Amino acid sequence: MADTTAPPLIPAARSNENRSTTPGSTGFKSFIASGWADRTDALPGAREQAPFAAARRARLSAQYPGQRLIIPAGRLKPRSNDTDYAFRAHSAFAYLTGWGSDSEPGAVLVLEPAAAGGHDATLYFRERAGRDSDEFYANPDIGEFWIGPRPSVTQVASDLALHVRGIAELTGVLSAVDSETLVVREADPTFTEQVDEARLRFAAERVLGSTATDSPFSIEINAEHEPDAGLTRDLSELRLVKDAFEIAQMRLAVAATARGFDDVVADLPRSSQHARGERLVEGVFNTRARTDGNTVGYDTIAASGPHACILHWTRNDGVVAPGDLILIDAGVELDSYYTADITRTLPVNGFYTDVQRLVYETVREAADAAFAVVRSGAVFRDVHAAAMAVIARRTAEWGMLPVTADEALLPENGHHRRYMVHGTSHHLGIDVHDCAQARRDMYLDGVLEPGMVFTIEPGLYFQPDDLTVPAEFRGIGVRIEDDILVTPTGAENLSAAIPRTATEVEAWIAAAQR
């Protein structure tokens, strides 16, 4: 029995009656529905990532024989009243379809078990509303007059090399949901509720011979949603090793990010003259991200002076003062959603002081030590350990620790972590913190393989009120972050072309500001 109280697959248009008046007269409706040129739906060739997405679906299919898998794209999220955040499809959906910044809100990918084995993949999305409908001018959520034309079912099918159906046909999937059906829960909570209700009805009909709404008993889905969590975990783990398309995208994202850093360096004189210079730095980089990619992969950190000691400083409302350092943590996200994640710490006036240079070169020493560990067969956590050994040794030499470096490195101690509380590395790809739902033994305790991409980003942060450090160190924060690819013969620093040594950074700034 269909649940008539379930949220609709196609949300109703939001009211705009107090914002504008949509014409509704008979004459208007008749006139606006006529006089349009015929459209020819030119079919695009399959996009470059289509065969890679198909191979990813095949790998997932092999892990779940006979089970229906549902991967929603997600829906628009309100920012304020009737305005929305820019839509970004769920990463699992993008990974399995190849649909990135041009994906449609509300779309759903379904992998249906095939009789011959494996799965048949079908993408459901809300297709174009015809000009004989009033939606194209009256619905601000999907109307072409409001947001531009939508692709047709046939165009999307050709573009993604996928079987595609209209969103209304998704009701058939819901009616077929059984206890073995799995869904990526967090992608679209509203649609997940409908899947849960369908599973309850299936369980009630199977166990009690009645519908869930008619049953006097309460049938609950496992509160932990463990099977669904397993699907999310496995999708994360599939992304640990990048395919050739993903690696090429990472190279392009790093190259675009390098251009963004060049823009920032060239604009430092202007930024340093503004009361909110950090905002100018952010804006300059974001311009490059929108020019050469989709957007930024995460909120840009433009942290000048003591703000550099705040690990996730994104308010970016401070001055960029000559004599200070500015820590810039930024990455360009491409239309495919793959993003870089790079940090450089620059002297605003072009030259490091002796203490700034000492701290900077120590952080670079830690980064280089971590990079030296990276090779196929190494353990991921050893990258962090190599960086922390340098941090412990140097802070002990500077008299900041109450114990020796060796003592600080003991598991029960960790005094040196006061000055670097974050980790050294995280996987990188379609998410800036990629593969986050992977199991610990696949991630932190995992063995490195060719095709893995992750950051190396040690830092030192001496808070301005930290009495354990000499006064000349206080207020200095330094991080150096690069994007690393594990290769069959070792490792490649994808961002090595962005100046890294203190001397190279000074020369970079001087050349950019001539």
Q: Kindly write down the DSSP assignment for every residue of 98-110, as one continuous string.
A: ---TTPPTT-EEE
Locate 409 and state its tokens: 């490195």
Which residues neighbour 424 within 8 Å (Cβ) at sequence distance 6 or greater?
A: 366, 370, 383, 384, 387, 388, 456, 457, 458
- 186-202 confidence digits (pLDDT tens): 999 999 999 999 999 99
CB-CB contact of 99 with 91 (8 Å)? no
For residue 369, the model assigns a pLDDT of 98
Domain that holds residue 495: 244-512
- What is the distance between the alpha carbons of residues 304 and 301, in angstroms, rounded to a whole number? 9
Ranking 8-17, 77-86, 306-315, 446-455 by mean pLDDT, the lowest is: 8-17
402 in helix, strand or coil? Answer: coil
CB-CB contact of 4 with 174 (8 Å)? no
- Domain boundary pick from 177, 203, 238: 238
Does position 223 have pLDDT exceeding 50, yes or no? no
Query: Mean pLDDT over all residues of the chain?
Result: 92
Structural domain contains residue 128: yes
Question: 252's torsion region: left (phi>0), alpha (psi -120 to 50) or beta?
Answer: alpha
Same domain, yes or no, for 368 and 292? Answer: yes
Beta carbons within 10 angstroms of residue 368's beta carbon: 19
CATH of residue 223: 3.40.350.10
Of the pLDDT bands very low, low, confident and very high (cuts 50, 70, 90), residue 142 is: confident
For residue 154, the model assigns a pLDDT of 94
- What is the distance between the alpha carbons of residues 296 and 309, in angstroms, rounded to a whole number? 22
Structural domain contains residue 99: yes
CATH of residue 256: 3.90.230.10
Mean pLDDT throughout 40-58?
94
Locate 55 and state its tokens: 């191979």
Mean pLDDT throughout 167-181?
95
Structural domain contains residue 4: no
- What is the distance between the alpha carbons of residues 200 and 180, in angstroms, rounded to a whole number? 12
Same domain, yes or no, for 120 and 211? Answer: yes
For residue 3, the model assigns a pLDDT of 42
Structural domain contains residue 305: yes
Does position 41 have pLDDT exceeding 80, yes or no? no
Does position 272 have pLDDT exceeding 90, yes or no? yes
| Structural domains in the chain (count) | 2
Mean pLDDT throughout 477-481?
98
Same domain, yes or no, for 418 and 312? Answer: yes
113 in helix, strand or coil? Answer: strand
Q: How far apart are the first and last CA of the chain?
A: 74
N residues, the chain: 514
Mean pLDDT throughout 222-251?
90
For residue 217, the model assigns a pLDDT of 39
Q: Which residue has the higher pLDDT, 479 or 215?
A: 479
Of the pLDDT bands very low, low, confident and very high (cuts 50, 70, 90), residue 38 is: confident
Instruction: For the chain, give the percent of residues with pLDDT over 90.
Output: 82
CB-CB contact of 476 with 310 (8 Å)? no
Same domain, yes or no, for 213 and 324? Answer: no
- What is the distance between the alpha carbons of residues 104 and 492, in angstroms, rounded to a whole number? 36
Structural domain contains residue 14: no
Highest mean pLDDT out of 5-14, 38-47, 136-145: 38-47
Same domain, yes or no, for 188 and 299? Answer: no
Does position 6 have pLDDT exceeding 90, yes or no? no
Of the pLDDT bands very low, low, confident and very high (cuts 50, 70, 90), residue 47 is: very high
Mean pLDDT throughout 9-36?
78
For residue 1, the model assigns a pLDDT of 34
Structural domain contains residue 5: no
- Domain boundary pick from 172, 203, 238: 238
Structural domain contains residue 181: yes
Same domain, yes or no, for 186 and 258? Answer: no
Beta carbons within 10 angstroms of residue 130's beta carbon: 11
Strands 119-125 and 163-166, by their bridges, are parallel
Of the pLDDT bands very low, low, confident and very high (cuts 50, 70, 90), residue 132 is: confident
Does position 491 have pLDDT exceeding 60, yes or no? yes
Helices (H), 398-428: 405-408
Q: Which residue has the higher pLDDT, 367 or 135?
A: 367
Q: Give the phi and the psi of residue 233 in degrees, each rounded to 5.
A: -60, -45
Same domain, yes or no, for 281 and 313? Answer: yes
- What is the distance between the alpha carbons of residues 14 and 17, in angstroms, rounded to a whole number? 9
Q: Which residue has the higher pLDDT, 74 or 16?
A: 74
Q: Which residue has the tokens 């990048």?
A: 242
